[in-house]
Amino acid sequence: MEKIIDENIQGQALSLDKKEGNTRKLFIESYGCQMNFSDSEIVASILAKEGFNTTQNLEDADLVLVNTCSIREKAELTVRKRLEKYNAVKRINPKMKVGVLGCMAERLKSKFLEEEKIVDLVVGPDAYKDLPNLIEEVDAGRNAVNVILSKEETYGDISPVRLQSNGVSAFVSITRGCDNMCTFCVVPFTRGRERSRDPQSIMEEIDDLASKSFKEITLLGQNVDSYLWYGGGLKKDFEKASEFQKATAVNFAKLLDMVAEKYPKIRLRFTTSNPQDMTLDVIEVMAKHKNICKYIHLPIQSGSDRILKEMNRLHTREEYFELIDNIKKLIPDCAISQDIITGFPTETEEDHQDTLSLMEYVKYEYGFMFAYSERPGTLAARKLEDDVPEATKKRRLNEIITAQRNHSTYRHEAFIGKTVEILIEKESKKSDAHWSGRNTQNIVAVFPKGDYKIGDFVMVRIDECTSATLLGEAIGYSDNN
């Protein structure tokens, strides 16, 4: 799942407007990628119809749900720790029920009930519509499990509810699952086959956000470039579609074009892209529309051709460079970020140097870097020994992080003296006298509040920077307000 895991929001409990007449209390918290946070909104909206209002207070809850992540072992350990905490609360409130949702539920299935005695309910990512029945089972004193993966489910018909929203930026999911089968990755097993959501329901959701004055929308999927709608069905079956279906099909470039055209004042972002699936027409659409942000999250995982092959990434280092060159040719100021894994099985010092030299070529604006964590059931776990010593993984990871920090500083310094458009999202974490927002390249800028407010597009002159942030001063509104 090439999705940004935002450390700041891990474990955040979701809180929604109270629905009149609802008497039961739901505490729902999420770990992992943005897709999980989005899914929790779907779950809360399904349960609002079942008499549940959300609470931020664990001790008050009748039902506790935790939406889980399996991407690395550490993510799973965090959830196990939370279960210990729920257990302590359950001793005070024995009627409280506990459910596990998401990737860990899918991976461990009913084993969860044996391993963690306090768990009453286990629900995989495609089974949330079954929650009302499952909760009935739990109410009757029985454990309940549904981990069936679907080829169709996109939750397109569930009208989403926005959680703790700043009213400015929102995520809209467009695909679910992943068919790429990177050998290190558990996502194809936990989130199932790749499927695309009906563009009409995507447009309806965006219409609703636009009517509520949202200013920025991120189209979300494990692999957005792979989006393809031809009336339903898996991408691999597209060949068998009718001539009419083929002629009226919507791919990612077309979807992006449609949304950008209809909402010229809304900033559009998307995540995540996959090098082997990203096509030139997407970059052309980005270049054509001012409101599509000039930023692509484009994971590489490794700079070594041999390791890329072992990872089943279906492109070479050269092809990746070609893609980067094409992006920069069509959109010279486009920012690019990466995901990199260090210490994949058999990785040598030479492979590691290849990763460092690739980074030197691209000079990413930003990056998400991880030490390899073997995931049970993946092809890498079955075929390759996790043979890079932990200390070597860590050392290589540190070298990569240092390189990235230098590249981020280099990219950020290029903004000094320039004036950029920032969408104000929130108060700066470090100072209540400053706003924080992002420019089109997705770089965070912080500046004194002045008379501006959250949701304003402002022009900010950049005076200084760190490896993480631009610092400056607002000089007026942008023409996008």
User: What SS3 class is residue 455?
Assistant: coil
Q: How far is the CB of 277 from ligand SF4 (least distance, A)?
A: 8
Out of 183, 218, 274, 301, name the contact with ligand 5AD by CB under 6 A.
301
How far apart, in whole angstroms, are the C-alpha atoms of residue 222 and residue 238?
Answer: 19
Instruction: Work out whether 32 is an interface residue with ligand SF4 (CB under 6 A).
Output: no
Q: Which residues contact 117 (CB under 8 A, 6 or more apart)?
A: none
Out of 27, 370, 435, 457, name the contact with ligand 5AD by CB under 6 A.
370
Which of 437, 441, 434 is closest to 423 using CA atoms? 437
> Structure tokens of 316?
């070479």
How far apart, in whole angstroms, are the C-alpha atoms of residue 153 and residue 380?
Answer: 28
Q: Which residues contact 346 (CB under 8 A, 6 or more apart)?
A: 306, 307, 310, 384, 387, 388
DSSP 3-23: ----GGGTTEEP--PPPTT--
Binding mask 153-182 for ligand SF4 (x = CB under 6 A): -------------------------x-xxx
Instruction: Work out whether 323 is an interface residue with ligand SF4 (CB under 6 A).
Output: no
- For ligand SF4, give the closer residue by CB, 218 or 274: 274
Instruction: Verify cis geometry, omega within 30 degrees of 0, for the bond prior to 248.
Output: no
Instruction: Work out whether 190 is an interface residue with ligand SF4 (CB under 6 A).
Output: no
| Piece of the chain touching ligand 5AD by CB under 6 A; list 1-9, 127-135, 137-145, 147-155 | 1-9
Instruction: Work out whether 40 is an interface residue with ligand SF4 (CB under 6 A).
Output: no
Instruction: Work out whether 53 is an interface residue with ligand SF4 (CB under 6 A).
Output: no
Q: How far is the CB of 294 from ligand SF4 (least distance, A)?
A: 23
Residues 118-144 as b or e (16 or more Cβ within 10 Å = b): bbbbbbbbbbbbebeebbeebeeeeeb
Out of 71, 108, 296, 445, name the contact with ligand 5AD by CB under 6 A.
71
Q: Which does 72 bind (CB under 5 to 8 A by kind): ligand SF4, ligand 5AD, none?
A: ligand 5AD
CB-CB contact of 343 with 385 (8 Å): no
Q: How far is the CB of 230 from ligand SF4 (least distance, A)?
A: 21
Is 33 known as a binding-site position?
yes
Instruction: Work out whether 185 is an interface residue with ligand SF4 (CB under 6 A).
Output: yes
Binding residues among 269-288 for ligand SF4 as defined by CB under 6 A = 274
**What is the number of other CB atoms lying within 10 angstroms of the CB of residue 305?**
17
Which of 434, 425, 422 is closest to 478 using CA atoms? 422
How far apart, in whole angstroms, are the C-alpha atoms of residue 98 and residue 176?
Answer: 26
Q: How far is the CB of 363 from ligand SF4 (least distance, A)?
A: 23
Half-sphere exposure of 221 (CA within 13 A, CB side): 26
Instruction: Work out whether 224 is an interface residue with ligand 5AD (CB under 6 A).
Output: no
Q: How far is the CB of 152 from ligand 5AD (least distance, A)?
A: 25
Out of 99, 102, 124, 188, name the contact with ligand SF4 by CB under 6 A.
188
How far apart, in whole angstroms, are the C-alpha atoms of residue 340 and residue 364?
Answer: 11
> Structure tokens of 152?
């169709």
**Angle at which helices 199-211 and 252-262 cross, to 10°:** 30
Q: How far is the CB of 377 from ligand 5AD (least distance, A)?
A: 11
Instruction: Work out whether 47 is an interface residue with ligand SF4 (CB under 6 A).
Output: no
Out of 42, 187, 220, 423, name the contact with ligand SF4 by CB under 6 A.
187
Instruction: Work out whether 339 is an interface residue with ligand 5AD (CB under 6 A).
Output: yes
CB-CB contact of 144 with 121 (8 Å): yes
Is 334 known as a binding-site position?
no
Q: Which residues contact 319 (CB under 8 A, 6 or more apart)?
A: 275, 276
Instruction: Work out whether 223 is an interface residue with ligand SF4 (CB under 6 A).
Output: yes
Instruction: Work out whether 299 is an interface residue with ligand 5AD (CB under 6 A).
Output: yes
Q: How far is the CB of 370 from ligand 5AD (least distance, A)?
A: 4
Residue ranges binding ligand SF4 (CB under 6 A): 1-2, 178, 180-182, 185, 187-188, 222-223, 274
Q: Which residues participate in the annotated binding site for [4Fe-4S] cluster?
A: 33, 69, 103, 178, 182, 185
Residue ranges binding ligand 5AD (CB under 6 A): 1-3, 71-72, 184-185, 299, 301, 339, 341, 370, 372-373, 375
